[in-house]
Amino acid sequence: MSSEVSFGGALSGASEVAHRTRRLLLVGFVFLVPWIVIVARLWFLQLERGPHYESLASGNFVRESDITPDRGRIFDAKGRVLAENRPSYDIMASPNILFRNKEVPQLLATKLPIDRDKLERLIAASETGAGAEIVVRRDVPRDQVAVVETWKNELPGIYLRISQRRYYPFDSLAAHTIGYVSGISEEEARSWESTGYTGGDQVGRTGLERWFESILRGAPGLERNVVDVRGVEQSAAVANELLGSLRRVEPVPGQELVLTLDADLTQIADDAMARTPSGGLVALDPRDGSILALYSKPGFNLNAWSGRLSNEEKRRIDNDPFKPMLNKVTSSYFPGSTYKVVTAMAGLEEGLVNPKTEVDCSGVFHYGNRDFRCWNRTGHGEVNLSSALAASCDIYFYGLGVELGIDRLARYATEFGFGEMTGVTLPGESAGLVPTKAWHETHSDGGFQFGFAVNTSVGQGDVRTTPLQLALTYAALANGGSLYYPRLVDRIQLQDGTAVYEYPRKARRQLPFKPENIRQVMRGLRAVLDTEEGTAREYRLSYLDAAGKTGTAQVRALDTARLDGAEALFADRDHAWFVAVAPADDPRIVVSVFVEHGGHGASAAAPVAMKVIDRYFREVLGMDEAVTAYVDGSDRTRLHELLHEPEAVAAGAPPKVSGEPGVPMFRSPKEGSGSVPEVRP
């Protein structure tokens, strides 16, 4: 160090150097303090709270949207599509883009019909720029899609979202069984939050769509997109870079249902029921409980109910006296004389009658201080079990009813499956009602009276059964005593057709009756069709022995003779029933027909059932030629062979049968099974 100072302020001595160094060191330490504070702050932000900020950052740039899974399709037994999906377009709006384009909502309103509420919501959204994307219009027709596409540049923030809609190729065929879907409201979505539904999701409302909702629905996937601060989606490259494999979670498609139902037979049922405004029909295979047709009338259009149903249309259907939305095959009604099998079986089992026991029907039955009349005012004369069933003599069963008592009758009815749900995989099934003494004590004015057993013995009074219950009960009689669970779904399968569950052919129970007694009852049921006094003899098929039972259930107790035809108010008319089994000796089909307020069972319901059976064998099972050959006498063995070797027949049967000549049985589904979106106003 030099002490030569050539100019003022230069260093002047060792002490000065030491002082300078000390001071600079001090400054250096002072610098260290805020520096460490900043480093500590960064430590806290980046390491301590790093994960927290990471999730905040993800929340910023990741926009998640659900991918709706393919809803499982529903097929009939022959693989025809009953319910499938078609693409549909929703018009969407994103508030944060509208925020910077406040003129868009008004402009949109000049191009498309938009509800006033919706427009107000869009304007409100453009003011705040906040909130989730808004559905402007759901499932818009093609021309509106075109409008949005055309005006894309003038309408920033308005875009199309492709989604799926349910499509039912057969419109209203088997509507009650298939059921419809509709979007759930935000409110419903909240209450179902745990199940992962969001507002607007399609959910099954009735029928199989509802019962199998969790199976058909599948699991939604997730798409994550990268957005910038304005909510504008970034390029796929950016999204891949930032999210990688997290970008997309594939949806799991819903599983598919293959039904035991035959669409042809359901159409046949519809044809057969053409003349009746209201009723139901069940056809099932008595050998395993598989349901072949499940038909309720009037029906409704599934596509209309799954889409945009106008308020007028909804009101019209809601006010329809024939209750189109009610599934009549699982609703319960007075069974009338079809219930006599219960009384007959109870009488035989309890040893109160044997097949030869004869009762003299004079047309009236005195019990207590009341007269119970037979439907045949003049009386049937001497009847035994078989002829009583054949002619549907009330007097025979009145007497049995009195002897059995209401509770014993009820026990047999319960054995037959009445008064309990069949377990069909459909929502809203009625258990029906089997009245007992105890039931009457609490439900009838004045409590139980002995006369109730008399009414009950012929399916009147308070007994109520569903057409499905009757079909299963008759099936049990026909197959020798196995009361089956109804099989409506044959199997559940994956989208590629791999079966994941096959519904078992399972009996609920074996009827605990002597086989001989079952045979005796069946003999009576055959007599209904093939004896002179049989109530349904005029509807017997020339080539086939069938068994069955008519029922005419009084809806209102009238002192005068039963009213029929136009004289009676519709709602006062009797319910008509017919349950038929064919062939009687080797049963293949049971048909239970219920014609609500249809009048006589014999004239209103029996022809329907027999027509269905006739066409089932001729058309569905493809025995038409054999039947013709049998009828004209040219070949009597072929039909016999076919009837007793069912599997061989089924394999050789023509795949598709048409109804009336020249008229396609069904409106054929659109080409590519609905992939062309049907535009509805």
Query: Which of the stretches 34-42, 502-510, 570-578, 599-607 binds other proteins when contact is defined by CB under 8 A?
Result: 34-42
| Half-sphere exposure (Cβ direction) of 122: Cα atoms closer than 13 Å | 28
Bridge-based pairing state of the strands 81-93 and 134-137: antiparallel
Choice from 14, 31, 275, 570 touching other proteins (CB under 8 A): 31
CB of residue 123 to other proteins, shortest distance in Å:
21
Residue number with CB closer to other proteins (227 or 475)? 227
Query: Which of the stretches 37-45, 88-96, 162-170, 211-219 binds other proteins when contact is defined by CB under 8 A?
Result: 37-45
Amino acid at 426: L
Pull the structure tokens for residue 178. 């298939």
| 2 is a site residue for other proteins (CB under 8 A) | yes
- What is the distance between the alpha carbons of residues 494 and 500, in angstroms, rounded to a whole number? 7
- What is the distance between the alpha carbons of residues 90 and 135, in angstroms, rounded to a whole number? 7
| 1 is a site residue for other proteins (CB under 8 A) | yes
8 A C-beta contact, residue 454 and residue 372? yes
Measured CA distances, 615 to 38, 556, 610, 630, 667 (Å): 89, 35, 8, 15, 19
- What is the distance between the alpha carbons of residues 50 and 643, in angstroms, rounded to a whole number? 77
Residue number with CB closer to other proteins (240 or 354)? 240
Residue number with CB closer to other proteins (9 or 655)? 9
Query: Which of the stretches 42-50, 401-409, 462-470, 590-598 binds other proteins when contact is defined by CB under 8 A?
Result: 42-50
CB of residue 109 to other proteins, shortest distance in Å:
29
Range list of β-strands (E), 80-127: 81-93
> Who's near 511: CB < 8 A, 6+ residues apart?
415, 416, 476, 477, 481, 482, 483, 518
Residue number with CB closer to other proteins (57 or 648)? 57
Strand-pair partners of 548: 580
| 7 is a site residue for other proteins (CB under 8 A) | yes
| 515 is a site residue for other proteins (CB under 8 A) | no
Look at the block and give the residue holding tokens 């047309």: 363
| 50 is a site residue for other proteins (CB under 8 A) | yes
| 42 is a site residue for other proteins (CB under 8 A) | yes
Q: Binding-site residue total for other proteins (CB under 8 A)?
A: 51
8 A C-beta contact, residue 134 and residue 122? yes
Query: Which of the stretches 4-12, 401-409, 580-588, 606-614 binds other proteins when contact is defined by CB under 8 A?
Result: 4-12
Residue number with CB closer to other proteins (31 or 501)? 31
Choice from 14, 45, 339, 487 touching other proteins (CB under 8 A): 45
Where on the phi/psi map is residue 137: left (φ > 0), alpha (ψ -120 to 50), or beta? beta
| 156 is a site residue for other proteins (CB under 8 A) | no
Bridge-based pairing state of the strands 256-259 and 74-75: parallel
| 14 is a site residue for other proteins (CB under 8 A) | no
Range list of β-strands (E), 396-458: none
8 A C-beta contact, residue 305 and residue 638? no
Choice from 103, 149, 154, 228 touching other proteins (CB under 8 A): 228
| 103 is a site residue for other proteins (CB under 8 A) | no
Instruction: Give, as ranges, the residues between 239 and 258 that touch other proteins (CB under 8 A).
Output: 241-242
Task: Give the binding site for other proteins (CB under 8 A).
Answer: 1-2, 7-12, 16, 19-21, 23-24, 26-28, 30-32, 34-35, 37-39, 41-43, 45-47, 49-54, 56-58, 60-61, 226-230, 234, 238, 241-242
